[in-house]
Chain A
Amino acid sequence: MFGFAIRRLFQALIVMFVVALLAFTMFRFVGDPVNQMVGVETSIAEREALRQRLGLNDPMPVQFARFVAGAVKFDFGTSYQFRQPVADLFAKRLPATLELSFMSALFALLTGIPMGVYAGLNRESWLSKIFLSVSLIGVSLPTFFIGILLIFLFSVTLQWLPSFGRGEVVDLGWWSTGLLTVSGWKAIILPAVTLGLYQMTLIMRLIRAEMLEVIRTDYIKFARARGLPDRIVNLRHALKNTLVPVITITGLQLGAIIAFATITETVFQWPGMGLMFLQAVQNVDIPIMSAYLLMTAFIFVTVNFIVDILYYVIDPRLRIGRP
């Protein structure tokens, strides 16, 4: 177990190193950073001085080492457009994105798992058929369209929920949360549902397929033949055995939710990382782009690492060897 964790950690470091290399080369190949920073009237001598001061004349490996050392300390340089450290901008935006992602993942799990279990156990019932066909719509409609649809229905027509923003935010110093106010909760519902709809469909279909597979196995038949109540057979024996593949997919999807909330954040004008990233792309703000790339990779790697460890927790066959 320990050796396994160390090996996975080592692999994760290699991935991060490669991504850091990519993020670093962005500075080189997406325009000249000095040109981005100074005005038209800056003289060549001044430019050269700035270049020297920023260390852009140093050999590549030295620059890369400096970049990595900075990244480890969350120092990603200064944003070209906002003239502020990228780390500060992230700190302001990150809570919004994480809260949104967390809520939508929660929504996807809390609705997807029960629906999947139900549809797996009651294959022929009309309710499972409705689940399946409605969820098909969920996957096939693009996110922005669902967002707009929801805004039209709940904000414009019914006027129950706000159509943009985070509502009132409480600042806890290191974290700004919208989850402590009524308006914050109201504001998060629509974007969280929009973002989580696809994952919910995926989880539901996956659980359903796995359940259909598992309830055909001998140990489920044997559990029924021992007269165990359906609740124990279905939840303790069947559902737990479906979890390994479900955790893999859910883990990957959680990474995807956090990293690619961009579209939903744009539709709902959610003040998170995604919105900031889009503006950065429009303005060729390389420090933000490269930091965003690093952060996305970091989230993916971390989630995958946790997923691998979870396998061990769930499946004793991996944890305990044969005698």
Chain B
Amino acid sequence: MSLLDISNLTVEFPGRKSTFVAVEGVSLALEPGKVLGVVGESGAGKSTVGNAVIGLLQEPGRIANGEIRLDGERIDQLDKKAIRKIRGRRIGMIFQDPLTSLDPLQTVEAQLVETIRTHLPMSHSEALTRAIELLDSVGIPDPADRIGQYPHQFSGGMRQRVVIALALCAEPELVIADEPTTALDVSIQAQILDLMKALCVERNVGMLVITHDMGVIAEICDHVAVMYRGNLVEYGETAQVLGAPEHAYTKSLISAVPRADVTIDRFPNVNYIEAAATPTRSIDISTHWLGKARDYEAATGPLLQVQDLSMDFEVKSSIFPSRRKYFKAVKTVSFDIQPGETFGLVGESGSGKSTIARLITGLYHPSGGTVHFAGTELTSLSSRSQVLAMRRQMQMIFQDPYSSLNGRMRVKDIVAEPIKFHKLASSNTEVRQIVDDLLDHVGLGIGAGEKFPHEFSGGQRQRISIARALATRPRFLVCDEPTSALDVSIQAQILNLLKDLQQELGLTMLFISHDLAVIRQMCNRIGVMRHGELCEVADSDALYEAPQHAYTKELLTLMPSMDLLAKIA
């Protein structure tokens, strides 16, 4: 008898017109002390499985069919009161974002003690002792002092430890972790995964890990279940499923995972989920508007030269200069980018990589240092026409595809705006023709221009952003985490598109990412950033094969190992 037995589970969300089946006929089993991973892309129904187990399906969702058994006892039909006694007591849950999963107005102590006392017959002081022990066991230093603090006084990784402590309050037999490390940096992720695995073995707890990240699966799971659109497509031992996938979806998913251990030219075409529309007519770039009039003077030497660039943000203002406090986001960083090259900046959150992107594109004014673009000092530009001419040559693609497009404009107007603003076309008819060609070329197909951004998926919106960036005929693109909000298969498509466009148009790129694997696939040279400083700059293969700086080595060892994954590419 397994600890958790899910058989033939079907979850439905009845709607006004039709019923949406989120999970269909899923059967899983989990033994104590083992970790079962459920992996899939957005909309696969993996979180719904976890929510069904703990009885927290969002309204109006309901279990339409199947059974869920905990230690042989059916828990899917329990009434509200009975399932609440199981929640927290026998099944613990860990959420994705540690920054939002703790009540900001209550101390950690209050939240721990109330949870312990809800489930265990303890006095306040006994519960407090237990809470301190728990914090100690999840690796929080000075637990007796820190327990009285509020969540905002803990860092992200420490908060996730608190969340784990809260989930373990009443010694549950089963823990459900829904994307437990997605919001964390790679070094913190490694620590948290180690901690979870250790707790699992020590306390003989069964753990259900829900994630989209193959690296997490490879790192801690004994068994893995691959879900696609509500169905279980493959289920077995982790090494088996990742090493020799059988189902076509698993294969395509694994092939789309960026690898840090090899460099590949292009990602294999993954069109299992959302295929890009094939361009209806091929455009000859050399004669088309996009390629024509790329009459910038060829840069002699590097296209972009960053010299001793620094940025200080004032964190405490005062009328006395001596009492002001600054946060040094970027500390005297220097690097060059050659024409036609893709330069990568990699680092954890707060390392200053996005600040550099904003400094280069002129969104921030640097506190010190210079940026030369094609031989011109950017900060010295005084006249508006000069600044505009520079901006036209540099474009930016942002991380969040949802907030970077104006939701009240049609896509054709979004893409036409920069063309009209910089007066790059002679007539409205020409603008319309160019916009159609652009949208077609980035794989959105004819007719996309008439729609609004909300009618598109995240990946398609990122294509719109790319079309918008290309509309000024730039020669330099700054991509700030362009794919971190996307599923892996969509990410592979977008990265391929960027590579293609770079080759066709001879673009130079600054590519910023926290993901070492993505950076390796995209960049010729890479700079590693930490606390506002550039630790190391090297050719990408050299950086991964023989890292010089201690921090680079540390980052590379902390990365989840992909050895288990089949080399399908």
Taking Cβ atoms with an 8 Å cutoff, the residues of A that contact B are: 217-219, 221-229, 232, 236-237, 240-241, 314-317, 320, 322-323
Question: Can you list 7 A-B contacts with CB-CB less than 8 angstroms, sorted by A residue number?
Answer: A219-B101, A219-B103, A221-B56, A225-B87, A226-B92, A227-B119, A241-B103
CB of A225 within 8 A of CB of B104, answer no
* Contact (Cβ within 8 A) B86 A227: yes
- Within the complex, the shortest CB–CB distance from B264 to chain A, in Å, comes to 37
- Distance between Cα atoms of A227 and B153 in the complex (Å): 25
In B103-126, which residues have CB < 8 Å from any A CB? Answer: 103-107, 114-115, 118-119
Instruction: Choose, from B161-169, B209-217, B437-445, the stretch at the interface.
Output: B161-169
Known: A226-B167, A237-B103. A232 touches B114 (CB 8 A): yes
Q: Is the CB of B100 within 8 A of A218?
A: yes
Produce 1/0 per residue, B176-201, CB < 8 A to A: 00000000000000000000000000
Is B343 an interface position by the 8 A CB rule? no
**Chain B residues near A218 (CB-CB < 8 A):** 95-97, 100-101
In the docked arrangement, what's the CA distance between A237 and B107, Å? 12
Contacts of B102 in A (CB 8 A): 219, 222
Q: How many A-B residue pairs have CB under 8 A?
A: 84
When chains A and B are docked, how far (Å) is the Cα of A237 from the Cα of B101?
Answer: 12
B93 CB–A CB distance under 8 Å: yes
Q: Are B169 and A323 in contact (CB under 8 A)?
A: no
How distant is A320 from chain B, measured CB to nearest CB, in Å? 6
Query: Which residue of chain B is the closest to A243 with respect to CB atoms?
Result: B105
Do B153 and A225 touch across chains, with their CB atoms under 8 A apart?
no
> Are B88 and A225 interface neighbours, CB within 8 A?
yes
Chain A residues lying within 8 Å of B115, measured Cβ to Cβ, are: 226-228
On whether the beta carbons of B104 and A241 are closer than 8 Å, the reply is yes
Chain B residues near A320 (CB-CB < 8 A):
149-150, 152-153
Q: In the bound complex, how far is the Cα of B104 from the Cα of A241, in angstroms?
A: 8
* Binary flags per residue of B137-161, CB closer than 8 Å to A gives 1, else 0: 0000000000001101100000000
Whole-angstrom CA separation of A315 from B107 in the bound complex: 11
Chain B contact residues (Cβ within 8 angstroms of A): what range? 20 to 34
The SS class assigned to the A binding surface is helix
Task: Kindly state whether residue B84 has any CB partner on chain A within 8 Å.
Answer: yes
* B85 located at the interface, meaning its Cβ lies under 8 Å from any Cβ of chain A in the complex: yes
Considering the chains assembled together, what is the distance between the CA atoms of A211 and B86 in angstroms?
26
Q: Is the CB of B89 within 8 A of A227?
A: yes
* B residues in contact with A221, CB < 8 Å: 56, 95, 101
What residue in chain B is nearest A124 (Cβ atoms)?
Answer: B59
Judged by a CB distance under 8 angstroms, whether B30 is at the interface is no
Cβ contact within 8 Å between B54 and A322 = no
Q: How far is the CB of B528 from chain A (nearest CB, A)?
A: 26
Q: A218-B95, A222-B101, A322-B152 are in contact. List 11 more A-B contacts (CB 8 A).
A: A217-B100, A219-B103, A224-B87, A225-B56, A225-B92, A227-B85, A232-B118, A237-B103, A241-B104, A317-B104, A323-B153
Docked CA distance A219–B101 (Å): 4
Q: How far is the CA of A17 from the CA of B168 in the complex (A)?
A: 58
A229-B95 in contact (CB<8A): no
| B54 close to A225 (CB less than 8 A) | yes
Q: Are B105 and A222 in contact (CB under 8 A)?
A: no
**Bound CA–CA A314/B105 (angstroms):** 7
User: Complex Cα distance A322/B95, Å?
Assistant: 23
B150 to A316, Cβ gap below 8 A?
Answer: yes
* Distance A229 CA – B89 CA, assembled complex (angstroms): 12
How many angstroms from the CA of A286 to the CA of B103 in the assembled complex?
A: 53
CB contact under 8 A between A227 and B152, given known A240-B105, A316-B105? no
Indicate if the CB atoms of B169 and A226 lie closer than 8 Å: yes
Least Cβ distance of B119 to chain A in Å? Answer: 6
Return B270 CB to nearest CB of chain A, in Å. 31
Known contacts A218-B95, A218-B97; decide if A223 and B150 are in contact (CB<8 Å): no
A34 to B104, CA, bound (A): 61
Q: In the complex, are the beta carbons of A227 and B105 less than 8 A apart? A: no
Q: How far is the CA of A218 from the CA of B56 in the complex (A)?
A: 12
> What separation, in Å, do the CA atoms of A318 and B403 have in the docked complex?
28
What are the residues of chain A within 8 A of B167 when measuring CB–CB?
226
Complexed CA–CA distance, A160 and B104 (Å): 48
Contact present for B152 and A226 (CB under 8 Å): no
Contact status A225-B114, CB under 8 Å: no
A223 and B103 contact, CB distance less than 8 A: yes
Q: Which residues on B sit within 8 Å (CB–CB) of A240? A: 105-106
Contact A226 B166 (CB under 8 A): yes
CA A228 to CA B85, docked complex, whole Å: 9
- Closest chain B residue to A216 by CB distance? B58
Q: Are B152 and A229 in contact (CB under 8 A)?
A: no
